[in-house]
A and B are shown apart, each in its own frame.
Chain A
């Protein structure tokens, strides 16, 4: 039991957190009525993936992937963080910001047009327009 706690809960805490956040995000995207909450859920979902990627590249006790030089900065050990996932996630963060920005801009336009950000109210209005 103790080893289970140590290995699974503590050892893989990042991954468990990422999965929990992914599920929270997916829940918000699918079940919440308000578009704003959906967008928040989407952001949580994307952030969880960033956490997942960073966890892949993380090593305990490793230093930043920079070649050290100068006095007092000699090699302590030869362990480096894997820089690739971090670089990838820089791109993913930028993409996420762009998506959120566009979504909020669209939401503002929708609010101007329909006076509401609740999905079911808007759909009802659309149905009335059709009839």
Chain B
């Protein structure tokens, strides 16, 4: 039974994306809420089935994996799916009553693009076919370009620059896939793995590896290729960046893990790329850089984006250490980081809902106006810094542990440095938020109850993942 219906995780949002533009605004709005709920239940259902059984494969149309397209359902994939679908549901609850104020006539188009974006993210996580992965990569990219462009004005420029870089990245990935296909004659990850296993790998495999890595690093927004990321997420509508910023970079990071380690073994990658520690040094440099500039920002959104860029480098760094412990830290950090960044962005969205701006100079004394929201934001920051009961501490702890085991002391130190910088930023922020006299704030109300509910959920999830980090790590590794 769970095997049969598992593909619905991808099909339900896809059908939704096709339906929404045809429906009336109010119907489409609540239908998209139902869609997000259905996916969450489905993901939890399949996960609970897998928990005691073996992971399984879904062959599309009944074709075997060497001919057709296969989807792979294992524990980590489904945990990631559950996280994504709960982010989907929470954004829907948060924004649904005032979507029509933001988008007007474009509402159904927005809902359709959003469903398409989530569909392609689920596809990226679950597919076991490297060409199918390219298609999903492009669908997710196309929908995110269009979603960012909804911000109007500057967002058009940001979106076009993102489009150019993103398409180059995806095309490089496709070229790498072409080399792999020409060499080994199959596109399925497991088939490739079984062929590659007993071979001495030559220069063409090296080229394909480099092309795939370059393409995915471009998509991730890793340090030298990050230029598109801050402007794209800053100028897009808040309701878009709330769900897109935490998800899309993390999904690309997961692809790096999936394609490289799905096909090659760790020792093969080390043989092919003897200089793989270069990426660790790159990550170290970028963590120092973004840590240093994060305290100079004058806007909550920009500050959080700096943190996001540093967190991406944590992922790259811990991936390229290429040891068992650092790789499971990498997987754990994908989950916890999606939740932390989401919590941060949801708080900013709540602040912007009343205040229209997240510049520091407009935020004076807002902590006394909306204490609950501000406390949630401070808690999200504390989790990013690494306060023990929350998940940020554990993911940082595991990454540093993995780094020290492999003698990458500077990389571990850079993580501590970025925590320190964030402490300073928070220390600067608290007096602005709580102790200064507040200026005009348009309405005297606090945020609505449903927003508080979403905020509470997102913060509680940080505690939840933190407290159960031990059992989660066991599941992942």
Contact = CB atoms under 8 A, between A and B. Distances in A.
| Chain B binds chain A | yes
Interface of A: 22, 26, 29, 35, 38-39, 42, 45-46, 49, 52-53, 56, 84-85, 88, 91-92, 95, 98-99, 102-103, 106-107, 109-110, 113-114, 122, 126
Contacts of B146: 102
Contacts of A126: 154, 157
B444 to A, nearest CB: 32
Name the residue among A45, A52, A109, A122 with the largest chain B CB count within 10 angstroms.
Answer: A109
A52 B305 CA distance: 38
Contacts of A110: 156-157, 160
Contact of B164 (A39, A49, A88): A39
B301 to A, nearest CB: 15
Nearest to B154: A126
A98 B135 CA distance: 12
A46 B178 contact: no
Given A35-B160, A42-B164, A102-B145, A88 B153 contact: no
Given A88-B131, A106-B163, A53 B178 contact: yes
Contacts of A95: 135, 138, 142
Contact of A99 (B142, B156, B157): B142
Contacts of B463: none
B160 A106 contact: yes
A113 B178 contact: no
Given A26-B168, A42-B164, A106-B145, A52 B157 contact: no
A38 B142 contact: no
B171 A45 contact: yes
Interface string B138-167: 100010011001000110110110011001
Contacts of B171: 42, 45-46, 49
Contacts of A52: 175, 178
Nearest to B165: A29
Interface size class for chain B?
A: 20 to 34
Given A26-B168, A95-B135, A49 B163 contact: no
Contacts of B83: none
Contacts, number: 68
A49 B171 CA distance: 8
B420 interface: no
B142 A102 contact: yes
Given A56-B181, A84-B181, A91-B135, 9 more contacts: A46-B167, A95-B138, A95-B142, A98-B138, A99-B163, A106-B159, A106-B160, A109-B149, A113-B153
Contacts of A102: 142, 145-146, 163
B359 to A, nearest CB: 12
Contacts of A84: 181
Nearest to B131: A88
A106 B152 CA distance: 10
Interface of A, helix, strand, loop or mixed by DSSP:
helix
Contacts of A26: 168
Contacts of A98: 138, 142
Nearest to A101: B142
A88 B182 CA distance: 13
Nearest to A130: B154
A93 B302 CA distance: 37
Nearest to A108: B156
Contacts of A39: 164
A101 B149 CA distance: 14
Closest 7 CB pairs of A and B: A106-B160, A95-B138, A56-B182, A109-B156, A110-B156, A99-B167, A53-B178
Nearest to B67: A84
Contacts of A49: 171, 174-175, 178
Given A29-B168, A95-B138, A102-B142, A113 B156 contact: yes
Contacts of B182: 56
Interface string B308-332: 0000000000000000000000000
A106 B235 CA distance: 15
A117 to B, nearest CB: 10
A109 B146 CA distance: 12
23 contacts: A22-B175, A26-B168, A39-B164, A42-B168, A46-B167, A46-B171, A49-B174, A88-B131, A91-B135, A92-B174, A95-B138, A98-B142, A99-B138, A102-B142, A102-B145, A103-B160, A103-B164, A106-B149, A106-B159, A106-B160, A109-B156, A110-B156, A113-B153
Contacts of B175: 22, 49, 52
B156 A106 contact: yes
Contacts of A107: 160
A107 B145 CA distance: 13
Interface string B412-443: 00000000000000000000000000000000
Interface in B149-202: 149, 153-154, 156-157, 159-160, 163-164, 167-168, 171, 174-175, 178, 181-182
Contacts of A106: 145, 149, 156, 159-160, 163
Contacts of B178: 49, 52-53, 56, 85
A38 B164 contact: yes
